[in-house]
Structure 1
Amino acid sequence: MDHGGDGELELYASVAARLKQAHARVRALDVPDEVSVALARKLLVITAAAKRDLADAARRLDRLMDDLDAGRIPDPGTP
């Protein structure tokens, strides 16, 4: 049995759960609509990245959540 696949499945499940939490958190933010849309787009980009490079998507999600935790709300004009 390939245990590398098990690790990838665990990472996938973790990223999927964290993305779900991140979407809920973004929806709950009291920010202007354009900021909320920009954050939702970032989450969609991370979701798409997970299909190609799961570890990279996890890192991107970590950075976004760290920014939100620190109160750093991205400028809606940045990708």
Structure 2
Amino acid sequence: MERDGQLQLYGVLAARLKQAHTRVANPEVPDETRRELTRRLLAVTAAAKHDLADAARRLDVLTAELDDLGIPDR
């Protein structure tokens, strides 16, 4: 049963990461900002391989920053 919960969390996290990558790829984001955000997204993706809960928390912080920067969902 625990494995089912982890698979579900992984699916949710994967969808959120995909959405975050789409937001960062927005052509209106300055190149330097995009590079930094991309680096952070890659770190979250790598963390997801070892600790889903930590990766989800880190993605929450990054998503809030994207919101604060005014980077829209597409």
Shorter-chain TM band: 0.7 to 0.9
- Alpha-carbon separation, structure 2, partners of 1:55 and 1:15: 9
Aligned 1:36-51 pairs, distance under 5 A: 36-51=34-49
Identical residues among aligned pairs (%): 59
Cα offset, 1:71, TM superposition:
2.2
Length, aligned pairs only: 71
Give the TM-score of the pair, scaled to structure 1: 0.82
Could you tell me which amino acid in structure 1 is paired with residue 59 of structure 2?
L
Q: Which residue of 2 aligns with 1:69?
A: 67
- Alpha-carbon separation, structure 2, partners of 1:68 and 1:23: 11
Q: Which has the larger radius of gyration?
A: 1
Runs of 4 or more, structure 1, over 6 Å off, are: none
Alignment gaps of 5+ in structure 1: 74-79
Cα offset, 1:29, TM superposition:
5.2
The CA RMSD over aligned residues, in Å, is 1.6
> Which one scores higher on RCO, CA 8 angstroms, separation ≥ 6?
2
Alignment gaps of 5+ in structure 2: none
